[in-house]
Amino acid sequence: MNNARLGLRNSSLVLLLFVSGLAPARAQGPSSVKVKGALTQIDGVPVLKVWGSPREQGYAHGYLVAEKAVRLLDRVLANGIIFTPESFQKQMVDHLDLMTIDPVREEELRGMLAGIEAKFGGPAEVPSLGRALRYEDLAAVNCIDLKAAQFGCSSFAAWGPMTADGATLCGHNLDWPLDRDLAQSQLIFVRLPSPGSNALGLVSVFFLPCIGCVTAMNSEGVALAQHDAMGKPPTMAKGFTSRTLMQRAALEAARARSASKDVEAIFKKQHSFLGENMIVAWPFDGHASAVVFEHDAGLKDGDGLTTRKPTKGSRFLVCTNHYRERQEAQECKRFASLTEQLRSIAESDGKERLTVKKAWRLLESVPIEGLATYHRAVFEPNKKLMHVAFPEGGDPKTRGKIITLDVAKLLEPLAEPGK
């Protein structure tokens, strides 16, 4: 993530296999705490499922991926592609006072640290930092968008007569600078709602130590995808929220029948240091089924939020990295290409309709030079299906095997021993 804001610039398993369907894990070694999580695989891709209170979910997350998470952080800092140890400390850890982390998410991150330390039997040393892992490091990793962003990512949504089955289809490319260690650390996260909360469960694709989301679908079929954007200058001095944590909060609140309003309510209260565009799509029910939120911390303009809706009569929406309405639209070849291809389908008088297969082709038609596609996703909100593809071995020239995730099934609670 390069293009820095305010003059700051980046310098750039324990695999527990469960048979017979995701049996809950039990802590081993130095920990006597029950681990409310399971780490399995779908077609070779790790799937981490957690449940319980925020702290219990964080503990399970940390315990089940402890060695890989610490090793990943060490390697990413050592190779200097995203951050060096020095820039990570100076640009991220030392600026956490600018951020607001919800107490619930803080509890989850502290639970993650406790889980990692339980697995290690004590403090977890990070060689590149020359010290043990701290809560502040995990918080900084989850606020990685604080100081800099790299333009990338492309998305679209279509619905109704535009699609083969008349339902909603949504696609997303996640494009960032290539770090092969980071690319190969991606997991499918399954997060059940905490008992007593009003939150919805969600399935997302992200990196090992992260608790937020950039590509995800919730239990009601609402899908969200993030894109970096150059936002308006912040009018607030502190109190920023990590985009990934804010997006998780939005998806946990977004009901299918009120998704746009539910997400908007979150985005009007929480603002990131940088700008972003976020496409949100939901099951088609006879009306337009997606919006794009153009969002930043320029609170003098619409509370930092502009909602871009489809034009009247349109049955598709495109999102890349430049604002289209919050400020003067900038040229973007990917935006133009996706718009042209989708318009051609819309104007074919029903002779051509968008399918999942064609959605993949659309995503593959808009690579971005100088960046790598970490994953692609095609959502079917009406069916609550999420199709994901990861490049093979972190090679951005490959799409990799497509994995189909049944979101509703993945979010079914697991029976714990003794209950």
Within a 10 A sphere around the Cβ of 31, how many other Cβ atoms?
17
Exposed e or buried b per residue across 216-227, where buried means at least 16 C-beta atoms within 10 angstroms of its C-beta: bbbbbbbbbbbb
Q: Is the dihedral angle over the CA atoms 87, 147, 245, 308 positive or is it negative?
A: negative
Q: How is residue 46 written in tokens?
A: 């790790």
The full 3-state SS of 189-220, as one line of letters, equals EEECCCCCCCCCCEEEEEECCCCCCCEEEECC
Please give the chain's pLDDT, 419 residues, in tens: 333 333 333 322 222 222 223 333 333 445 568 999 999 999 999 999 999 999 999 999 999 999 999 999 999 999 998 889 999 999 889 989 999 999 999 999 999 999 999 999 999 999 999 999 999 999 999 997 666 566 689 999 999 999 999 999 999 999 988 888 888 899 999 999 999 999 999 999 999 999 999 999 999 999 999 999 988 999 999 999 999 999 999 999 999 999 999 999 999 999 998 899 999 999 999 999 999 999 999 999 999 999 999 999 999 999 999 999 999 998 999 999 999 999 999 999 999 999 999 999 999 999 888 888 999 999 999 999 999 999 876 566 677 889 999 999 999 987 665 55
Surface-to-core class of residue 321, CB atoms within 10 Å of its CB (0-12 exposed, 13-18 middle, 19+ buried): buried
Task: Specify the pTM.
Answer: 0.90
Q: CB of 171 within 8 A of CB of 295?
A: no
Per CATH, which fold does 154-182+212-406 belong to?
Penicillin V Acylase; Chain A (3.60.60)
Distance between CA atoms of residues 361 and 350, nearest Å:
19
Q: CB of 62 within 8 A of CB of 123?
A: no
Per DSSP, 97 falls in state G
Q: How is residue 161 written in tokens?
A: 């007569």
Q: What pLDDT is attached to residue 81?
A: 87
Distance between CA atoms of residues 229 and 227, nearest Å:
6
Q: CB of 100 within 8 A of CB of 272?
A: no
Q: How is residue 183 written in tokens?
A: 């690319």
* Strand runs labelled E in 101-191: 125-126, 131-132, 154-158, 169-176, 186-191
- DSSP codes joined into one string, 266-321: HHHH---SSEEEEEEE---SSS--EEEEEE-S-TTTGGGEEEEPPPTT--EEEE-S
Helix ranges (DSSP H) in 131-174: 135-141
Please state at what angle helix 356-364 crosses helix 333-346, rounded to 10 degrees. 150
E strand or H helix at 50, and its extent?
A: strand 45-50
Distance between CA atoms of residues 177 and 150, nearest Å:
8
Distance between CA atoms of residues 170 and 378, nearest Å:
6
Q: How is residue 93 written in tokens?
A: 């850890």
Q: What pLDDT is attached to residue 148?
A: 58
Distance between CA atoms of residues 413 and 22, nearest Å:
10
Q: How is residue 297 written in tokens?
A: 């911390």
Q: What pLDDT is attached to residue 178?
A: 86
